[in-house]
Amino acid sequence: MYKYLKIGFLISLPVYGVVVLLASLLVESYLIEWIFALDYLYVIWPAFLISFFVIPISQALVVTQNSQAQMKWEVLRLLLLCVVSFICVVFLEASALQAVLSLVVSMGLAYISLIYIVIKVFKV
């Protein structure tokens, strides 16, 4: 698992750099009306990269007959996203970028909890 996490990180970091660089160059050169979207890209893209290697780890629970742990994590993740979305919209009246950032942070916390669950289940 640690080897897989390391490989995922080593692959995703350069990919993130290339995507951000290319997107910045393309938008600033040819698609100037999309300049506002770069902020969202910078916030959302790390979550996509993290999911690149976290999702297969979550499937390890199902493959090893620990689907109950997988289901609990999925339910908790869904609840976390719903609560964060509700708080951002209703109580904080957050801007769209702030709401997206809080959802990405929530997903990061969910992924960290998944790694904790996998370590606990496999007693690594």
pLDDT digits (tens, 9 = 90+) for 52-89: 777 777 777 777 777 788 888 889 888 988 898 888 88
Region class of 94: left (phi > 0), else alpha (psi between -120 and 50), else beta: beta
At 11 the three-state DSSP class reads helix
What's the token pair of residue 2?
A: 């640690």
**Whole-prediction pTM value?**
0.69
Are 37 and 95 in contact by the 8 Å Cβ rule? The answer is no
Name the domain count of the chain.
1
Question: What residue numbers bound the domain in which 2 lies?
Answer: 1-122
Confidence grade of residue 124 (pLDDT, cut at 50, 70, 90): low
